[in-house]
Structures are given as C-alpha cells and as structure tokens.
Amino acid sequence: MAITFTEVLYTHRPDISIRALPQTLSAINRSGLDEQYTRMFEDYNKTGLFKLASLREVADATGVRYLGQLKLSGFTQGSDGRLSVFGLRVMNTKQARIRLFLQIWDSTDGSIVWEGVDELQHCMDTVVEDAVTLKMVLEMASRHLIDQLPKQQEKTKTLNTSLK
C-alpha cells in the first residue's frame, strides 16, 4: 500500500521530496531504532498519538521533518450479475470500495499538520472476468488525497510517507 501511494505521490507532486518505505525502514534499522519504532506504533494504537521523542528519532534517522501515517481503513470488492440470457450471465458489475486515511506529523513539535481521508467506490460493467483490484482503487484514492494536500510554501520539504 505504501509503495503504491508513494508512486502516485511522486508522479502527482514532484515538488515533494519523498522517502519510500524501503528507504525509511532501512534507515530505522541501520540506526538501531527497531524497538523504538515498534513501541511507537504500539503507543499509537493505544492512544492515537506518536510521542514527540519517537517522531524525532525517526526523523533524525531518515533525514526528514514531516512523517506521513497512511492507513487503509477499509476495503471491499465484489461482483453482481447484471444481464443474463437463458441462465448465462453475460454482463457483470465489478465493484470495490476503499477508505484511505493520511496524517502528516511535524517531528519538530509533535503536531498533526494535515490530515485527510478519501472514501471511494468504483464500479464497472464488464463482459470479461476483469476485477476491480485493490491497486486500482488505491491509486484512485491516493490521487484524491494527494490533490487535497496543500501546495508547498517552502521550496524544499521532505515527506516520509512510509510509516506503516
């Protein structure tokens, strides 16, 4: 999920410098922060907060100021028969629904500087067995979220979009 989101962000907002998931996890591991990183998410799951000290450690290890928390809040997909002739299904409606949530945290003061959510339902009628895939709707929802991001005021900011 983080890889797809990062690809869409890179394509649609080239003005934002991005650290992808593999870069982030490698930097955290090289810095010996694996236990702190694990605790950071355990604390977040209990409280909805990233502790300032944890944000700073991850920011220092990855060389960024802003950290993105991307969450898949829901995904469903299905198929309904739309047209059948003599018991043979000729046309199907393929559908998928996704809810994607993004928070951006400032590692200097621990504040949430931006958050957004996109809920998308995508349907298509088809006579072939094509599916509406997670990647397809994830790309669409990512574009919608990225379109909501404020334009940069400073010339260079770096966003780490790869926190879990």
Contact, 96 vs 72, CB < 8 A?
Answer: no
pLDDT band at 3 (very low <50, low <70, confident <90, very high): very high
Is the pLDDT at 35 greater than 90? The verdict is: yes
Q: What is the pLDDT of residue 54?
A: 96
Tokens of 10: 């890179």
Strand partners, 67: 105, 160
Q: What is the pLDDT of residue 58?
A: 96
Going from N- to C-terminal start, the domains of the chain cover 2-163
Distances (CA, A) of 38 to 28, 33, 122: 11, 9, 35
- What does the pLDDT look like over 91-148, one tens digit per residue? 677 778 889 999 999 999 999 999 999 988 766 655 556 666 778 888 989 999 999 9
Among candidate residues 148, 35, 133, 63, the one with its CA nearest the CA of residue 102: 148
Is the pLDDT at 156 greater than 50? The verdict is: no
Q: Where are the beta strands (DSSP E) in 2-157?
A: 17-19, 66-85, 88-106, 112-126
The residue that leads in pLDDT, 90 or 77, is 77
Q: What is the pLDDT of residue 85?
A: 53
Q: What is the mean pLDDT of residues 22-51?
A: 96
For residue 159, the surrounding DSSP H or E stretch is strand 158-163
